[in-house]
């Protein structure tokens, strides 16, 4: 128990100060920093100090220098038991009791790994769908990423507002509206027994079918393809409808409201199934006129300039980019104008915000680069804290998803398929005696969605994903269900552990099994992983960490007996380790938006 004072300081900080101190004493040289690594499995040791960078300050043989430092550390730090040097790497063996003791400093800590500060306030935007069709696989990735990053930011010490901007107006909605008006026969989602968003999406497809036919007719009448696309009567009609909407025509607005409500009813169900949510909503119909006054203001401050035809531009050539249009010659807004206005509006609505995250696919990289630059030029203090959470596309084996060509993977159907697969597997292998049918249904959903979410989130957001719905998603190896299974198995052990294990044991004289020590090391990484994941906006780091933890646990589980251990102290420690691992799995998975089962 005599290490107590030092546990507040972690071993790495302690080592760093001692290495620096040793360097002065041994070589009369100061070094600015010390580089650490976890010792590779094939060498003896727990923590490794890399000697190479030190050679810049003290010329010499890295093995000799490493040896001197190692000797110094063993002599001056009780926790350092021994050392060995391989090439330029100084491997240190740390006392078992240190690991046990530091395990116990966090053992009873509530919400271990999470940081409760909220000095920084961030708004995270994700999803932001158009309201003319249901959500598809691409939206699924967006939603999972956005939700998870928001949760990670919270866990790492930020206050977070989750938001989305619903693209509820524009030509795409008018297309669905027009097709319904012409061919809908006053049908409703209810009368058809359809989900509202699918119902509206059906008419969007209908519109495109007719549009395509009209184009072909015009082409055979001798028009060029380009001309035909512009002159198709149904398109012209849709454009007229948009103008009517903009003019506030009561009938058009009423139709628009009705159809949007249908879509929202559908989205609500999809979001619920997906397990995502929002703190505040923005609608494009409210924001699409924003931003124009800012452009005027920017014009007087010479952030922008006006061309002869009256259009307004921002010159970004100094930044290596082009000139960018911010206001049309007729004075109307473009996408960029809206985005500028909306960003400003958000800060007005939530005055504590000092940063924003936009979850949008990487095809808009350029747009956000420009948007952020313009906001910076306009002089907003929060403009430095904007982040485009850019993610790669989700491709199918057949290639790109095209909504007009019907090759999209529908979000609702996908979730249903995953749930069905989970059901088939669980019925064969599950231990569900005594579960009611409702409980079973919940469980299948939990596993199916766990598989889907983990599959998508374990990949670095920036990378594109190839998704094969046929071969579906694995349930073995580095997968959500594998991790859920480990959790359920630990719960089974904890149910059987009919003794008290919530207090630290007396660690004097206790020595650790290698597997126990490795497990503790892995457990201790969790808080830092959360910080890294937040810094990199990457749920993938959480996912892969959790998998490593689980693998380490399973290896431990296979190598030592937990409840069968006869030494009471050891048995208690092992149950404690297991319960801590379960706690972290649950915590980490909640950051990914994945639930964990007590049995499966």
Partner RNA sequence: GGCCUCGUGGCGCAACUGAAUAGCGCACUGGAUUUCGGCUCCAGCGGUUAUAGGUUUGAAUCCUAUCGGGGUCACCA
330 binds RNA (CB under 7 A): yes
- Residues for the chain: how many in total? 600
Tell me the CA distances in angstroms from 372 to 301, 336, 385, one per residue in order.
18, 11, 9
Closest approach, Cβ 1 to RNA, in A, equals 29
Which residue stretch of 64-72, 139-147, 191-199, 471-479 sits at the interface with RNA (rule: CB under 7 A)? 471-479
Applying CB under 7 A, among 31, 86, 114, 316 the residue interacting with RNA is 86
Count other Cβ atoms within 10 Å, centred on residue 433. 6
Closest approach, Cβ 361 to RNA, in A, equals 8
367 binds RNA (CB under 7 A): yes
544 binds RNA (CB under 7 A): yes
Count CA atoms closer than 13 A to 569's CA, side-chain side.
Answer: 9
Give how many residues touch RNA by CB under 7 A: 89
Q: What's the CA gap between 308 and 293, in Å, rounded?
A: 20
Q: What's the CA gap between 373 and 384, in Å, rounded?
A: 9
536 binds RNA (CB under 7 A): yes
Q: Which is nearer to RNA, 86 or 510 (CB)?
A: 86
Q: Which is nearer to RNA, 248 or 477 (CB)?
A: 477
Closest approach, Cβ 524 to RNA, in A, equals 13
Which residue stretch of 26-34, 64-72, 477-485, 582-590 sits at the interface with RNA (rule: CB under 7 A)? 477-485
Applying CB under 7 A, among 431, 441, 503, 514 the residue interacting with RNA is 431
Among residue numbers 491 through 520, which ones bind RNA (CB under 7 A)? Answer: 491-493, 496
Count other Cβ atoms within 10 Å, centred on residue 13. 12
CB environment 539-566: b (16+ within 10 A), e (fewer): bbbbbbbbbebbbbbeebbeebebeeee
476 binds RNA (CB under 7 A): yes
Among residue numbers 287 through 326, which ones bind RNA (CB under 7 A)? Answer: 307, 309, 311, 322, 325
Q: What are the backbone dihedrals phi and psi of residue 544, each rounded to the nearest 5 degrees, phi first? A: -70, -35
Tell me the CA distances in angstroms from 445 to 41, 219, 266, 275, 383, one per residue in order.
38, 50, 19, 11, 41
Applying CB under 7 A, among 174, 263, 523, 541 the residue interacting with RNA is 541
Applying CB under 7 A, among 7, 560, 569, 586 the residue interacting with RNA is 560
SS3 assignment for 238-274? HHHHHHHHHHCCHHHHHHHHHHHHHHHHHHHHHHHHH
Q: Which is nearer to RNA, 220 or 398 (CB)?
A: 398
Q: What are the backbone dihedrals phi and psi of residue 315, each rounded to the nearest 5 degrees, phi first? A: -90, 115
Among residue numbers 129 through 188, which ones bind RNA (CB under 7 A)? Answer: 130, 167, 170-171
Q: Which is nearer to RNA, 31 or 334 (CB)?
A: 334
Applying CB under 7 A, among 234, 540, 584, 596 the residue interacting with RNA is 540
Nearest to 292 by CA among 336, 324, 250, 355: 336
Give the distance from CA 561 to its chain's centroid: 36
Closest approach, Cβ 546 to RNA, in A, equals 12
441 binds RNA (CB under 7 A): no
345 binds RNA (CB under 7 A): no
Closest approach, Cβ 82 to RNA, in A, equals 14
Q: What are the backbone dihedrals phi and psi of residue 348, each rounded to the nearest 5 degrees, phi first? A: -65, -45
Helices 539-559 + 514-536 axis angle, to 10: 170
The two most distant CA atoms of the chain are separated, in Å, by 94
Among residue numbers 35 through 74, which ones bind RNA (CB under 7 A)? Answer: 35, 37-40, 42-43, 48, 50, 52-53, 55-56
Q: Do residues 139 and 133 make contact, with C-beta atoms less than 8 angstroms apart?
A: no
Q: Which is nearer to RNA, 121 or 575 (CB)?
A: 575
Applying CB under 7 A, among 59, 240, 306, 463 the residue interacting with RNA is 463
82 binds RNA (CB under 7 A): no
Closest approach, Cβ 21 to RNA, in A, equals 21
Count CA atoms closer than 13 A to 500's CA, side-chain side.
Answer: 4
Closest approach, Cβ 491 to RNA, in A, equals 6
Count other Cβ atoms within 10 Å, centred on residue 84. 17
Applying CB under 7 A, among 131, 163, 426, 546 the residue interacting with RNA is 426
Q: Please say whether the dihedral angle defined by the alpha carbons of residues 327, 332, 335 and 339, taken in this order, is positive or negative.
A: positive
């Amino acid at each position: 128990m005599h290490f107590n004072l030092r546990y507040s300081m972690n071993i790495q900080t302690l080592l760093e100060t001692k290495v620096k101190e040793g360097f002065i004493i041994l070589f009369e040289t100061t070094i600015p920093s010390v580089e650490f690594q976890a010792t590779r499995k094939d060498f003896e040791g727990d923590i490794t100090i890399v000697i190479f960078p030190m050679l810049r300050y003290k010329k010499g043989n890295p093995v000799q220098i490493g040896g001197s430092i190692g000797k110094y550390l063993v002599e001056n730090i009780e926790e350092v038991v021994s050392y060995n040097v391989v090439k330029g790497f100084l491997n240190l063996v740390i006392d078992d009791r240190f690991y046990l003791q530091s395990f116990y400093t966090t053992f009873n800590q509530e919400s271990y790994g999470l940081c409760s500060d909220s000095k920084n306030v961030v708004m995270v935007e994700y999803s932001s769908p158009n309201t003319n069709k249901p959500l598809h696989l691409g939206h699924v990735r967006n939603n999972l990423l956005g939700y998870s990053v928001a949760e990670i930011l919270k866990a790492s010490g930020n206050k977070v507002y989750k938001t989305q901007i619903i693209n509820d107006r524009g030509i795409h909605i008018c297309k669905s509206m027009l097709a319904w008006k012409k061919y809908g026969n006053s049908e409703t989602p209810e009368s058809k027994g359809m989900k509202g968003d699918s119902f509206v999406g059906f008419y969007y497809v209908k519109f495109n079918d007719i549009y395509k036919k009209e184009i072909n007719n015009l082409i055979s009448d001798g028009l060029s393809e380009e001309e035909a696309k512009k002159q198709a009567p149904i398109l012209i009609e849709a454009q007229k409808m948009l103008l009517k909407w903009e003019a506030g025509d009561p009938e058009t607005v009423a139709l628009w409201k009705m159809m949007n409500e249908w879509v929202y009813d559908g989205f609500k169900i999809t979001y619920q199934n997906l397990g995502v949510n929002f703190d505040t909503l923005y609608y494009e119909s409210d924001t699409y006129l924003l931003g124009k006054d800012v452009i005027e203001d920017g014009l007087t401050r010479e952030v922008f300039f006006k061309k002869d035809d009256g259009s307004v531009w921002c010159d970004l050539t100094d930044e290596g980019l082009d000139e960018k249009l911010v206001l049309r010659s007729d004075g109307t807004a473009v996408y960029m104008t809206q985005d500028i206005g909306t960003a400003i509006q958000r800060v007005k609505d939530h005055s504590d915000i000092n940063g924003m995250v936009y979850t949008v696919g990487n095809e808009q990289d350029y747009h956000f680069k420009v948007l952020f630059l313009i906001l910076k030029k306009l002089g907003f203090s929060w403009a430095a804290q904007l982040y485009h959470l850019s993610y790669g596309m989700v491709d199918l084996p057949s290639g790109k998803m095209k909504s007009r060509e019907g090759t999209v993977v529908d979000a609702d159907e996908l979730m249903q398929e995953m749930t069905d697969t989970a059901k088939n597997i669980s019925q064969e292998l599950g231990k569900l005696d005594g579960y009611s049918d409702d409980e079973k249904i919940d469980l299948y959903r939990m596993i199916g969605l766990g598989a889907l979410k983990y599959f998508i989130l374990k990949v670095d957001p920036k990378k594109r994903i190839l998704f094969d719905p046929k071969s579906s998603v694995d349930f073995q190896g580095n997968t959500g269900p594998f991790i859920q299974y480990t959790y359920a198995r630990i719960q089974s052990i904890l149910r059987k552990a009919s003794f008290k294990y919530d207090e630290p044991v007396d660690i004097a004289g206790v020595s650790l099994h290698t597997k126990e020590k490795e497990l503790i090391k892995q457990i201790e990484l969790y808080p830092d992983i959360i910080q890294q994941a937040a810094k990199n906006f990457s749920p993938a780091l959480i996912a892969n960490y959790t998998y490593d933890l689980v693998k380490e646990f399973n290896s431990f589980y296979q190598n030592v007996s937990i409840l069968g251990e006869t030494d009471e102290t050891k048995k208690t420690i092992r149950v404690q380790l297991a319960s801590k691992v379960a706690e972290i799995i649950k915590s980490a998975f909640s950051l990914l938006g994945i639930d964990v089962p007590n049995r499966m």
